[in-house]
Amino acid sequence: MARLLHELVLEQANRRPNATAIVYRQTVLDYATLATQMATAASGLLALGLQRAERVAVYLPKRRETVVALFGAALAGGVFVPINPLLKPEQVSYILRDCNVRILVTARDRSDALSRHLVECPDLHTVVLVEETVAPPSSYPFQTLSWTTLSETATGHSSARAAIDIDMAAILYTSGSTGKPKGVVLSHRNMVAGAESVADYLANRADDRILAVLPFSFDYGLSQLTTAFTVGAGAVLMDYLLPRDVIATVARERITGLAAVPPMWVQLAQLDWPQSAVDSLRYFTNSGGAMPRATLAALRQALPKTTPFLMYGLTEAFRSTYLPPAELDRRPDSIGKAIPNAEILVVRDDGSPCAPDEPGELVHRGSLVAQGYWNDPAKTAEHFRPAPGQNTALPLAEIAVWSGDTVRADTEGFLYFIGRKDDMIKTSGYRVSPTEIEDVLYSSGQIAEAAALGIPHPALGQAIVAALKPLREDFSESELINHCKQHLPNFMVPLQIVTRSTDLPRNPNGKIDRKTLLAELRTLFSENAS
Q: What is the pLDDT of residue 395?
A: 79
Say whether both 121 and 142 belong to one domain.
yes
Distance CA 105, CA 263 (A): 30
Q: If pLDDT is split at 50, 70 and 90, which confidence band does 529 have?
A: very low
Query: Among 336, 296, 309, which residue's Cα sits nearest to residue 320?
Result: 336
| This prediction's pTM | 0.88
The answer, yes or no, to whether residue 530 has pLDDT greater than 50, is no
8 is a domain residue: no
Residue 240 pLDDT:
76
pLDDT at res. 262: 84
For the chain, the residue count is: 530
152 in the same domain as 217: no
Same domain, 482 and 341: no
Sequence-distant (6+) residues with CB within 8 A of 50 are: 56, 73, 76, 77, 78, 102, 103
For 461, the 3-state DSSP assignment is strand
Same domain, 390 and 310: yes
- C-alpha triplet 253, 257, 263: angle, nearest 5°: 100
- The kind and range of the H/E element at 182 are strand 182-187
Q: Judge if 65 and 120 occupy the same domain.
A: yes
Cα 179 to Cα 208: distance, rounded to the nearest angstrom: 40
The per-residue pLDDT for range 504-517, each reduced to its tens digit, is 898 755 678 888 99
Looking at residues 293-297, what average pLDDT do you find? 87
Q: How far apart are CA 282 and CA 204, in angstroms?
A: 10
CATH number at residue 478: 3.30.300.30
DSSP state, residue 241: -
Picking from 369, 401, 420, the residue at the C-terminal end of a domain is 420
With 0-12 / 13-18 / 19 or more C-beta atoms within 10 angstroms meaning exposed / middle / buried, residue 6 is buried
Please state, rounded to an integer, the average pLDDT across all residues of the chain: 92
Q: What is the number of structural domains in the chain?
A: 3
Q: Position 310: which residue type?
A: L
| Position 38 in a domain | yes
Cα–Cα–Cα angle for 72, 204, 429, rounded to 5 degrees: 70
Judgement on whether residues 281 and 323 belong to the same structural domain of the protein? yes
β-strand pairing of 283-286 with 307-312? parallel
Answer yes or no: is 52 within a domain. yes
Q: Do 434 and 448 fall within a single domain? A: yes
Give the number of C-alpha atoms closer than 13 A to the C-alpha of residue 137, restricted to the C-beta side.
Answer: 17
- Inside any domain, residue 263: yes
pLDDT at 107 over 90: yes
Answer yes or no: is 184 within a domain: no
Indicate whether 268 and 203 sit together in one domain: yes
If asked whether residues 99 and 240 sit together in one domain, one would say no
The CATH number that applies at residue 207 is 3.40.50.12780
**Alpha carbons 45 and 157: distance in angstroms, whole number:** 10
Residue 19 falls inside a structural domain: no
Tell me the C-alpha distance between 54 and 168, whole Å: 10
- E strands, 14-74, where? 20-24, 27-30, 55-59
Q: Within this chain, do residues 370 and 511 fall inside the same structural domain, yes or no?
A: no
Domain boundary among 420, 446, 465: 420
Residue-level pLDDT at 11: 97
Confidence of residue 360 (pLDDT cuts 50, 70, 90): very high
Residues 459 and 408 in one domain: no
pLDDT at residue 356, as a whole number: 97
**For residue 425, which amino acid is it?**
I
Kindly tell me the number of DSSP H helices and DSSP E strands found in the chain: 17, 27
Q: What are the angstrom distances between the C-alpha of 38 and each of 161, 192, 324?
A: 13, 18, 36
Contact by Cβ (8 Å): 243, 287 = no
Q: Strands of 143-146's sheet, edge to edge?
A: 143-146, 126-129, 101-106, 55-59, 79-82, 168-174, 182-187, 372-373
Residue 6 in any domain: the answer is no
The CATH number of residue 149's host domain is 3.40.50.980
* Structural domain contains residue 12: no
pLDDT in tens, 394-424: 778 899 999 998 899 999 999 998 877 777 8
Query: Of 385, 420, 455, which residue constitutes the final position of a domain?
Result: 420
pLDDT tens profile 247-289: 999 999 999 999 998 878 888 998 999 999 999 999 999 998 7
Range of lowest pLDDT (290-304, 337-351, 400-414)? 290-304
Distance CA 110, CA 383 (A): 34
**Residue 500: Cβ-neighbour burial (10 angstroms; 0-12, 13-18, 19+):** middle
Q: 213 and 114, same structural domain?
A: no
pLDDT at 233: 98
- Range 376-390 average pLDDT: 92
The percentage of residues in the chain with a pLDDT greater than 90, rounded to a whole number, is 74
Domain span holding position 365 = 189-420
